[in-house]
A and B are shown apart, each in its own frame.
Chain A
Amino acid sequence: MPPSNDLKDGGELRIIGFLCNWCSYSGADAAGVARLEQPTDLRIIRTPCTGRIDPLFILRALINGADGVLVSGCHPGDCHYVEGNFHARRRLETLKRILPISGIDPERFKYTWVSASESGRWQETVREFTAKIHALGPAPRMTDVVSRSKDLSLEGLLLQDENGGA
């Protein structure tokens, strides 16, 4: 199995980044070329545009136990596909409002704009977001929630749910 399951042991947290190929991904590349040191927690997923990022991907990541999700794309008005980041901004603003309803701390999610030339800004973004997630600590795990629900004698409810389909 991949060792990522015990990421927590190394003092690292699980942070997922969704980055636009044209700006932030290149900006992150440029930060690498300039050897701008960053914390190692972040794992980057490359997408063609922030407009390709389904808010459900972010929700999936957080439900699966990601401690933080960072989205970064082109500055508004600068999209390689004309208006992808405007779609993204609207979707991600909505997501921000939905997260607390879903029982997820909205502080664990952030979206920002970093262009291909802003390697320094990328380094700052990664440093700040990682520090923030570390300050929040590991996200509550699903297993914790289940054990807590057991304490509240909701066990029956869960079982019922499981049997519901059978």
Chain B
Amino acid sequence: MHIGVFVCHCGSNISGTVDCPQTAKAAGEFPDVVYSTDEMYTCSEPGQESIIRAIKEHNLDGVVVASCSPRMHEATFRRTVERAGLNPYMFEMANIREHVSWVGRDKALNTRKAIDLIGMAVAKLRNGTPLFSERFNVTRKLMVIGGGVAGIQAALDAADSGIEVVLVERETTIGGKMAKLDKTFPTIDCSSCVLGPKMVEVAQHPKITLYAASEVDNVSGYVGNFTVQVRKRAVYVDWDACTGCGLCTEKCPSRKTPDPFNELIATTTAINIPFPQAIPKKATINPDYCLQLTKGKCGVCAKVCPVGCIDFEQQDKIEEVQVGAIVVATGYDLFDYSVYKQYGAGKLPDVITSLQYERLLNASGPTGGHVLRPSDGAEPKHVVFIQCVGSRDKSKGRAYCSSFCCMYTAKQAILTKSHLPDSQSYVFYMDIRSPGKGYDEFTRRTQELYGAQYIRGRVSSIHQHGSSLVVRGADTLAGMQVEIKADLVVLAVGIEPSRNSQKLAATLHISADTDGFFMEGHPKLKPVETNTAGVFLAGCCQGPRDIPTSVSMGSAAAAKAMVLFSNEQLESDPQVATVNATRCVGCYKCVKTCPFGAILESEDRWKNPKAEVLPTICKGCGICSVTCPHGAIQLNHFTDNQLLAEVNAICPLPTI
């Protein structure tokens, strides 16, 4: 073999703590290495050109680049060597940045480690073989999981470009959290006026199929060809027939049903339509509160329904959908603030969450937009807002900032003043974080124009005193204790990934970070991709973000799916298992261990039992390779010989 080694300085990122010229010189001593050099920026245009030049000049048939993590630039360099006519799998990377120069301080030791890592890469490459991709067809259909504003945007963008879209929403209406909001910052424009038309567009778009009250049960397949099982929950109403007239909701006698759309501050009927602009505008029965379903007597809705669409016998239905890509936009839920004993642990009726307050402000909310406190329906005069409840608090396991609470608190303070001109708002804050366009001006306006009093400090206790609440806290700027008699306390509760999102992550084989938010492919360069090809992220499921960013992410995720769908066919990853038929004895242990059913019990032409790998289904985990007693099934690019060669490169068998 003729191997070329390219050691990257990465500016000073690597050369700062690794002697790159010496490393390149030492690398030249490895077997089969005929050319080695060091480059300032190997990934740059001139850097890549020098690789191509060296391949041609030195007749190289294998290349090792020692630079950053292969998770960063492996694909880049594979394309480079391919441009020079080499097989892209005759390329190896030695990670001397993330694993060497950035974590070690001693230059001599780092240099030695870098040389070792190159030695391992060379050894692996010497045992490598060229690999060739297969081409397969793509199902040009996108699934969007979650119908909040991010999911709606992704669905509309993809559908407008002519792609079939399946939108799956867990609740009975799309719209997500944004549909519950009254106004949005920093323009104070009506949330439903912005979102409403988009929701209608989803309902009317010929390319969008909407599955509301549905959840994703299972996902199998691979990029371009996913098979998704969608569970349509029983809603006890035939939605194809329901016209959304609402007659049933008027007559339903079970009026004490908790209303999740109103954040449980109001009740609704057992058969209900969450809000007037709901999409789809269909009635749904809550089986826990329906008298017919719990006690077997009532059936009023069935009697009054003009189209006879009530079906008390309805069951969950599972439908199988074939899609080529998936956008996950499952959003967020509020943190359970009852762990804060000092804020009343959820037991004080006039201590409410920001989303509950949003419903009180909303003209379509339970109070018709009049701010009336829950306990006695009186208009509050003094409203206290407490920020960072379940955000930036390590003691509650929530170290991260929920990012948009500062802004909506400012907005709610403004709205309080416009709803109740005689009121006074107080905001307890840690820091005001308002780094968006027009955001800082907005928080200043809240204080200067609307007279909200901002107090920098935390609240230590809230307790009931007669009909009002006494809020005790610290003003750290004035260096004194403060006590405010409040009529209503609004907690800016931090966000967490939506419930059951961990289960979905497992189903989709995507990972989550320590806080449970889904992990992006790369923190900077792949913000909407995941490590599973064909699965993209949008909105708060990836981390806290406001509406404009969620919308941008929705569009970005749709664009990524469109890129995927712009190909007639995709290339399969050839790093899959292959069977050496002469070694295979047909024990089928591999068939049993394969998690994906990618190995078949097959026969050769003499009817001898042999295992057979389906390369498009194989995901390249290599569990089978270890299971095989004869080493007959090998994972391409990670063969026993290649991995052992790496081991031997660091620890050669001592000669006796």
Which residues of A are in contact with B by a Cβ distance under 8 Å? 1-5, 7, 10, 12, 14, 16, 21-23, 25-26, 28-29, 31-33, 35-40, 43-49, 51-55, 57, 60-61, 63-66, 74, 77-78, 80-84, 87, 91, 115-118, 123, 141-143, 146
Contact = CB atoms under 8 A, between A and B. Distances in A.
Given A12-B109, A51-B622, A2 B649 contact: yes
A82 B649 CA distance: 31
A52 B513 contact: no
Interface of B: 26, 29-30, 69-72, 95, 97-100, 102-106, 108-110, 112-113, 115-117, 119-120, 506, 509, 511, 513-514, 519, 531-532, 575, 593, 595-596, 619-623, 625-627, 635, 638, 640, 643-644, 646-654, 656
Given A43-B116, A48-B575, A33 B98 contact: yes
A3 B640 contact: no
A91 B621 CA distance: 15
A84 B623 contact: yes
Given A66-B651, A77-B506, A28 B511 contact: no
B99 A52 contact: no
Contact of B650 (A4, A23, A49): A4
Contacts of A14: 650-651
Given A26-B71, A52-B635, A35 B103 contact: yes
A66 to B, nearest CB: 5
Contacts of A32: 69, 97-99, 102-103
Contacts of A4: 112, 115-116, 119, 649-651
B104 A38 contact: yes
B108 A48 contact: no
A61 B647 contact: yes
A135 to B, nearest CB: 19
A26 B108 CA distance: 25
Given A43-B117, A51-B626, A80-B621, 13 more contacts: A2-B29, A10-B108, A22-B511, A28-B98, A45-B647, A48-B635, A52-B638, A52-B643, A54-B625, A57-B640, A87-B627, A115-B513, A118-B514
Contacts of B120: 43, 45
6 contacts: A2-B116, A16-B647, A49-B621, A66-B650, A115-B514, A116-B513
A47 B622 contact: yes
A1 B115 CA distance: 11
Nearest to B628: A54
B102 A35 contact: yes
Contact of B519 (A3, A33, A91, A117): A117
Contacts of A77: 506
A141 B35 CA distance: 34
A2 B648 CA distance: 12
B651 A64 contact: yes
Contacts of B621: 48-49, 51-52, 80-81, 84
B626 A53 contact: yes
Nearest to A75: B511
A52 B623 contact: yes
A57 B641 CA distance: 10
A123 B636 CA distance: 31
Nearest to A122: B103
B116 A38 contact: no
Contacts of A55: 626
A82 B509 contact: yes
B652 to A, nearest CB: 7
B109 A10 contact: yes
Name, among B30, B120, B519, B650, the residue most crowded by chain A CB atoms within 10 Å (CB to CB). B650
Name, among B72, B102, B519, the residue most crowded by chain A CB atoms within 10 Å (CB to CB). B102
Nearest to B108: A10
Contacts of A39: 104
B653 A40 contact: no
Contacts of A82: 509, 595-596
Contacts of A81: 509, 595-596, 619, 621, 623
A2 B113 contact: no
Contacts of B644: 57, 60
Contacts of B654: 64-65, 141-143
B108 A29 contact: no
A29 B102 CA distance: 9
Contacts of A35: 102-103
B69 A29 contact: yes
